Amino acid sequence: MANSPLTFYGKVALVTGAGNGLGKAYALDFAARGASVVVNDLGGNISGTGSGSRAADKVVEEIRAKGGKAVANYDSVEFGDKLVQTALDNFGRIDIIVNNAGILRDKSFVRIKDEDWDIIQRVHLRGTFMVSRAAWPHMKKQGYGRIIMVTSAAGIYGNFGQANYSAAKLGIVGLANTLSIEGRKNNILVNTIAPIAGSRLTETVMTKDMVDALKPEFVSPIVVYLSHDSCEETGGLFEVGAGFFAKLRWQRTEGVLLREANEVLDAEKVRDNWDRITDFNKATYPESSQDSMGKIMQLSNEIDEAE
């Protein structure tokens, strides 16, 4: 209903990395709207070393002081089943997951050590997989689930010095694309946001004015809406920050089938048609692999029939 507030009474939300920054804003927002919240945070530093209970505990205290329901979990997202178990043990169910936990190991490409690559994949991509997989059977059984994935502009567009992070973050979009297809029939809806906000991850590269303008609270509204049972969106990718909200999609040029009956198809033919291959004037927006392959197979069959 248009004017009714979005509430979450009876729902259980697990927010990973909720001890700071964006995750904290989501946890507070969910709790204020009646959800029972698992505040997960490993409590380490931004490069993924160390651990502690303080970050999660502080957020739980803040939620409880305002009359909300929350419990802390200090495990790494790499142990997704433990996070989900905390939700089940304390609140009896799991409805919403925000896969928010994250770290950085920024380095130009050849300086990335094996461990810098591996820890970024483990925390972002594998962590997202482990937490989502642990919750999936419960969501399937109850015919309800909302999963928010967190990517980054660095993943979507690339960014100097973030090859490890870019790869993991775009991997998360790939995971979301398939989970949104697999989850649909059980009302498990999966969407991805690429946020921008002032936080300890970004304060070293942002001015104070930027940090002030990019409050995590300006990102939280879309996370809350996408997590609500009234929202039917799935498989979406959204750029969010400073109060700006937008959806992204793939775009494909009209394309050209260069294979012709009884003619050689070679690299020269590709070169000679480069303008047509890359011309976005009659672009289309494939929404599925069937959409994408369908056009290719149709054109290909037309050639075969002409042969």
Query: Catalytic positions, please?
Result: 165
Best CA proximity match to 145, nearest among 185, 187, 175: 187
Closest approach of ligand NAD to the CB of residue 146, in Å: 17
Q: How far apart are CA 132 and CA 152, in angstroms?
A: 19
CB of 152 or CB of 180, closer to ligand NAD: 152
Which tokens hold the place of 54?
């303080």
* Of residues 22 and 188, the one with the C-beta less far from ligand NAD: 22
| Nearest distance in Å: CB 150, ligand NAD | 4
Q: Residue 35 or residue 98: which is nearer to ligand NAD going by CB? A: 98
Q: Residue with structure tokens 């729902």?
A: 11
Nearer to ligand NAD by Cβ, of 221 and 255: the residue is: 221
244-248 sheet: strands from edge to edge: 69-73, 36-40, 12-15, 96-99, 145-150, 188-196, 237-241, 244-248
Can you give the binding site for ligand NAD, defined by CB under 6 A? 16-17, 19-23, 40-44, 46, 48, 55, 76-77, 100-103, 123, 127, 150, 152, 195-197, 199-202
The candidate with the shortest Cα–Cα distance to 219, out of 202, 236, 200, 244, is: 244
Q: How far is the CB of 148 from ligand NAD (least distance, A)?
A: 11
Q: How far is the CB of 152 from ligand NAD (least distance, A)?
A: 4
* CB closer to ligand NAD, 80 vs 183: 80
User: Whole-angstrom Cα distance, residue 248 to residue 271?
Assistant: 30
User: Minimal distance in Å, beta carbon 103 to ligand NAD?
Assistant: 5
